[in-house]
Amino acid sequence: MSPWYVALVLAVAAERLAETAVARANLRWSLARGGSVRDSGQLPAMVVLHTGLLAGCLLETDLAARPFVPALGWTMVALVVAAQALRWWCIAVLGRQWNTRVVVVPGLGRVTRGPYRLFSHPNYVAVVVEGAALPLVHSAWITALTFTAANAVVLAVRIRCEDAALTALGP
């Protein structure tokens, strides 16, 4: 396994830690303004799933001696970078309303600008793309498939939960 791939996976892990810090600060801000958490307990599953993705990338690549195939690998690196850009665009556009929890703050409306003018859950597009692309950078196809399948189940629950919370915000 190449050291640069380890560095890429660790950079994504650091990004997740940065997201966690932003989410905690935004949760405190939201709760201080009367916000209520509306998620249905799927956050622990999401944490395990995303941690498993990162570990799986490294383990499968190392244990199964997955090669770096340049045509596939560089294409997947571009998709990982694009997914990160989309994710942080979502975070920037949502501002204090972005969170890893589902939180409704009285008086705050639904955000409909940036990527949210195109569809309701652009952050999850980033998650889906990254979840397939990051392992495939180094041909870790089992991790890509496993994450994608498990993520589909988790996102189905999460999106229903978010849609209910968005309905509570109104138009």
| Per-residue pLDDT reduced to its tens digit, 34-60 | 999 998 788 999 999 999 999 999 999
- 3-state secondary structure at position 170: coil
Q: Is the pLDDT of residue 63 over 80?
A: yes
Per-residue pLDDT, 109: 85
Per-residue pLDDT, 64: 97
Distance CA 163, CA 158 (A): 9
Mean pLDDT of 142-154: 97
| Per-residue pLDDT reduced to its tens digit, 93-131 | 999 999 999 999 999 888 999 999 998 899 999 999 999
Tell which CATH architecture fits domain 3-169. Answer: Up-down Bundle (1.20)
Pairing of strands 36-37, 103-104: antiparallel
Domain ranges of the chain: 3-169
Q: Say what percent of the chain tops pLDDT 70.
A: 99
Helices (H), the chain: 3-32, 43-63, 70-94, 122-136, 141-169
Mean pLDDT of 5-15: 98
Name 36's bridge partners: 104
Q: Is the pLDDT of residue 170 over 70?
A: no
| Interior angle at CA 133, CA 19 and CA 144, nearest 5 | 100
More confident: 126 or 165: 126
C-beta neighbour count of 45 within 10 angstroms = 15
> What is the average pLDDT score of the chain?
95
Per-residue pLDDT, 150: 97
Distance CA 18, CA 23 (A): 9
Q: Is the pLDDT of residue 85 over 70?
A: yes
Distance CA 150, CA 72 (A): 23
Mean pLDDT of 74-88: 98
Distance CA 162, CA 104 (A): 10
Question: Is the distance from CB of 115 to CB of 92 less than 8 angstroms?
Answer: no
Least confident of 7-16, 98-107, 122-131, 132-141: 98-107
Distance CA 92, CA 150 (A): 27
With bands split at pLDDT 50, 70 and 90, how would you rate the model's confidence at 20?
Answer: very high
Per-residue pLDDT, 41: 84
